[in-house]
Structure 1
Amino acid sequence: MMKIAVFGIGGVGGLVGGALARKNEETYFIARGKTLEAIVSRGLHVESALLGDFTVKPKGAAESAGDFGVMDAVIISCKGYSLKEACRIVSPMVGEDTLVVPLLNGVGVSDMMKPLLPQCLLADGVIHVFSHIEEPGHIVQSYGPCHVIIGMKGGERPQKLDELAEALNGAGIKTSVSEDILFECWRKYLIMCGNSVVFCYYDGPAWKVREHADYKDTVRAAANEIISVAAANGVKLPEGSADLCAENFMKLAPETVNSLYRDLSSGKPPQKTELDHLIGRMIEMGRAANIPTPYHEMTYKRFAPEKR
């Protein structure tokens, strides 16, 4: 049985960690504040359209990783702005043979993590799921499937990748191992970052965006910026991806927004959102490849004009 730690018991980490803790006795949570208090006192409660309704306690839960020893695998699920701190906290659990898998938004996440962690098996990961924190220690996945994809940037396939996939599948989280994980990361990033730009550009949910006659052109333009930068980084996204983004945006429920726009429009400080991790990173990669990213630039300057 794998010894697995999950850092960040939010919408994603709570669902994945809860599923693992129910089936894998050697599961540990790294959490803090009211979330940690809730887990220690009454367990983690999960309501899931996929997994059912259950409450579970991991083998260990703490704010610090120092007491748990070296893990076989560590799953990091946090916002991009917390990634540096997350790596610092989990480092005592990471040995040369530890598999570390980030499940958070963005591309090139393993590249950002590499200088922050001890030598280890550092993978990349993608999760497709709709889940959220109802309150500390209470996770809700009200609809849709959950699919995790993991892999090594160079295409290697160490045994622990398959072992973790087996543990997750056994816990009810559909998981596959990809030999081209960068493609999977960029494919999700195209939707996540592209939609962030569109919601911010029109300053509203899907219904407000669709009131503008040119919105499909904007969706395609933002998508094509990402597609061009992906190609410059060696990842070719499928033909017609920008048109597909426009078609899919047309199908969104009227009140749909995404987490970055919700955070920014609610007045959160930009540094406490994923503005830098998503849109700022695209601008940086575009500049490095000499590819203009005007829609990303406009969005960034609107919310953090002093930084660029």
Structure 2
Amino acid sequence: MTELCDWLRAGSVPVLSLQNGVDNEPLIAEMVGEARVLGGLAVRIGGHISEPGKVFAEGVAQIVMGAWPAQQPKDDPRADLLKVLEVAFNEAGIPTTVTRNIRYELWRKLVINNGVNPLSALTHLDTRSLTHHPEFGKVVYGMMAETVKASEADGVNLTRQDLDDMFELISNFNAIKTSMLVDKEKGRPLELDSIAGAVLRRCEQLGVDAQYTFTVNALLRQQQ
């Protein structure tokens, strides 16, 4: 992204982010201005590079996107482009919807990512094994609850219902290796800063503890 800064600043078209985490859009906004930022995420998908040039994915693989941080109540110039992209993705066979509050959706995805990604990398267990484990299931729920609390720092204010919905979703989803576990097995850098780090920074800002996330994050960093 840094290498494209000058090129992006010189342009005028919006930039769509389809990455995990809640810190990507703010960084893009610093480069091109908030009015040119579209946020997005992929949900209900587990995907991995099975071999060079080949990707194995399972699940619905749905895209949710929207003007960041939320679509303006008045005419938002990004709305027309979002409609064009929605049609294009759907015609390509990728189920896609547009939301008026993408920041809310990004945080809901982070609830799941922080709940299972770091712990799976630490335990080498898949998502179903974690969520149905008598002890680790409680840790997953605890890390998800800490993520819900952290969302308050961004003014999102997820609820207990969001927490329970996300825990039920990942508990009933296919048993998959998380991307962080795959990275760990392949000796690649882990996305700790953008997942657990994002939660810890905001909990610190709010002055609240995030003991589950702090402990799992610390153990993983020790192993790197």
- Is 1:104 paired with 2:19? yes
Question: For the residues of structure 1 that align with 2:6 and 2:86, how far apart are their CA atoms?
Answer: 22
Q: Residues 202 and 208 of structure 1 are in contact (CA less than 8 Å); yes or no, is this contact kept in structure 2?
A: no
Q: How does 1:214-229 map to 2 (within 5 A)?
A: 214-229=135-150
Aligned to 1:282: 199
Contact 1:131 1:139 in 2 (8 A): yes
Specify the alignment match of 1:175 in structure 2: 96
Larger radius of gyration: 1
Once the two structures are superposed, residues 78-102 of structure 1 have per-residue CA deviations (whole angstroms, 9 ceiling, x without a partner) of: xxxxxxxx34237525645311011
Distance in 1 (CA, whole Å) between partners of 2:203 and 2:197 is 10
How far, CA to CA, are the matches of 1:126 and 1:172 in structure 2?
Answer: 16
What are the within-5 Å matches in structure 2 for residues 10-159 of structure 1? 86-89=1-4, 91-92=6-7, 95-115=10-30, 117-119=31-33, 121-128=36-43, 129-141=45-57, 143-152=58-67, 153-156=69-72, 157=76, 158=78, 159=80
The structure in which a higher percent of residues are helix is 2
TM-align CA RMSD: 2.9
Q: Is the 8 A contact 1:126 1:150 kept in 2?
A: yes
Task: Look up the equivalent residue of 2:111 and give its one-letter code.
Answer: L
Change in Cα spacing, 1:100 to 1:268, as seen in structure 2 (3 Å) is: same
User: Is the contact made by 1:99 and 1:161 (CA closer than 8 Å) also made in structure 2?
Assistant: no
Separation of aligned partners in 2, 1:136 and 1:267: 14
Change in 2 beyond 3 A, CA 1:198/1:247 = farther
Q: Which residue of 1 aligns with 2:181?
A: 261
For these two proteins, the number of residue pairs brought into alignment is 216
Show CA shifts across 1:7-42 (max 9, x none).
Answer: xxxxxxxxxxxxxxxxxxxxxxxxxxxxxxxxxxxx
The share of aligned pairs that are identical, in percent, is 21
Whole-angstrom distance in 2 between the partners of 1:146 and 1:208 = 22
CA distance in 2, matches of 1:103, 1:261: 20
Residue 115 (structure 2) pairs with residue 190 (structure 1): no
SS in 2 for 1:132: strand
Q: Which has the higher contact order (CA 8 A, sep 6+)?
A: 2
